[in-house]
Amino acid sequence: DPLKIISDIIVGLQKTGGKYLIEPDREKAIDMAMEEARSGDIVLLAGKGHENYQILADRTLEFDDREIARRALREHGFEGPGNEQSNGGQLKGEPQGGSGFGT
């Protein structure tokens, strides 16, 4: 149950005193994270690992975090080879046409 998982995560987030935003739709959440990220930020996509599918209550859908993240990076100004590869935490490429995502 995704809402139960979100509820469990919120308990931990509230203890930090930090700000957070809840978006149950994973694809929207990835896009929002990429849009809001700024230079020096880290966007961590956790929980799915190697899976290229998403299990819903009554069906399984093709869903690959890597593809969603690649598309979101492109849509928010990060272009070029290498964006899709792990590289020790360093972002390859620079935002096109601005100083950060969404600019």
Burial class of residue 78, CB neighbours in 10 A (0-12, 13-18, 19+) = buried
**Is residue 55 a part of any domain in this protein?**
yes
Ramachandran region, residue 47 (left: φ > 0; alpha: ψ -120 to 50; beta: rest): left
Question: What is the pLDDT at residue 101?
Answer: 41
**Is residue 95 a part of any domain in this protein?**
no
Question: What is the pLDDT at residue 33?
Answer: 93
**Is residue 76 a part of any domain in this protein?**
yes
**Is residue 34 a part of any domain in this protein?**
yes
**Is this model's pTM higher than 0.85 or not?**
no
pLDDT digits (tens, 9 = 90+) for 19-44: 888 999 999 999 999 999 887 888 88
**Is residue 13 a part of any domain in this protein?**
no
Split into its structural domains, the chain has a count of: 1
Question: What is the pLDDT at residue 37?
Answer: 87
**Is residue 12 a part of any domain in this protein?**
no
Positions of the chain with pLDDT under 70:
79-103
Domain of residue 76: give its range. 23-84
**Is residue 57 a part of any domain in this protein?**
yes
